[in-house]
Amino acid sequence: MRRMTVLAAAAIAVAVGAFSFTLGRAFTVRGPVATTMPAKLAESELATGTIASRPIPSAQTQAPSTPPVAFSPPTSPVAFPTSGRADVVATPSLACGNADALGVSRVVEIDTADGPGFGFEQFKAYDFLREHEVVLTFDDGPWPGNTSAVLKALADQCTKALFFPIGKHAMWHPEILKQVAAAGHAVGSHTWSHADLSKLTIDQAKEEFEKGASAVHAALGGPEASFFRFPGLQQPPEVVAYLGTRNIGIFSTDIDSFDFRMHKPEQVIASVMGKLKKRGKGIILMHDFQHPTSLALPELLAQLKASGFKIVQVRGKDPVKTLPEFDQAIMKEFGGNTVSTLPTSSIVRTVGE
Ligand SMILES: [Zn+2]
Residues 6+ apart with CB under 8 A from 255: 134, 272, 275, 276, 279, 282, 283, 284, 285
CA of 65 to the centre of ligand 1 (A): 25
**Minimum mean pLDDT range among 47-56, 294-303, 311-320:** 47-56
> What is the average pLDDT across 202-222?
97
CA of 89 to the centre of ligand 1 (A): 30
CA of 301 to the centre of ligand 1 (A): 22
CA of 146 to the centre of ligand 1 (A): 15
Neighbours of 342 (CB within 10 A): 9
| Spatial distance between the Cα atoms of 183 and 218, rounded to a whole number of angstroms | 18
pLDDT tens-digit series, residues 22-65: 332 222 223 333 333 344 433 445 544 333 344 433 433 433 33
At residue 348, the pLDDT reads 72
CA of 155 to the centre of ligand 1 (A): 23
CA of 147 to the centre of ligand 1 (A): 14
- CA dihedral for 154, 159, 222, 77, sign (positive or negative): positive
Q: Which of the pair, 85 or 53, is modelled with greater confidence?
A: 53
Residues 6+ apart with CB under 8 A from 164: 137, 138, 139, 140, 188, 189, 190, 227, 228, 229, 251
CA nearest neighbour of 194 among 227, 233, 224, 138: 233
| Spatial distance between the Cα atoms of 147 and 142, rounded to a whole number of angstroms | 6
At residue 77, the pLDDT reads 33
CA of 194 to the centre of ligand 1 (A): 6
pLDDT tens-digit series, residues 237-285: 999 999 999 999 999 999 999 999 999 999 999 999 999 999 999 999 9
CA of 338 to the centre of ligand 1 (A): 23
CA of 260 to the centre of ligand 1 (A): 9
| Spatial distance between the Cα atoms of 215 and 254, rounded to a whole number of angstroms | 27
Q: Which of the pair, 52 or 163, is modelled with greater confidence?
A: 163
At residue 90, the pLDDT reads 46
E strand intervals along 119-211: 133-139, 162-164, 186-187
CA of 142 to the centre of ligand 1 (A): 11
Q: Which of the pair, 212 or 70, is modelled with greater confidence?
A: 212
At residue 122, the pLDDT reads 85
> What is the average pLDDT across 59-84?
34
**43 forms bridges with which residues in the sheet?**
none
pLDDT tens-digit series, residues 121-157: 888 888 899 999 999 999 999 999 999 999 999 999 9
**Res. 343 pLDDT band, cuts 50 70 90:** low
> What is the average pLDDT across 71-100?
44
**pLDDT of residue 331 exceeding 60:** yes
Phi, psi of 313 (to 5 degrees): -90, 135
At residue 230, the pLDDT reads 97
CA of 231 to the centre of ligand 1 (A): 5
| Spatial distance between the Cα atoms of 276 and 292, rounded to a whole number of angstroms | 19
Q: Against a cut of 0.85, is the pTM above it?
A: no
At residue 341, the pLDDT reads 56
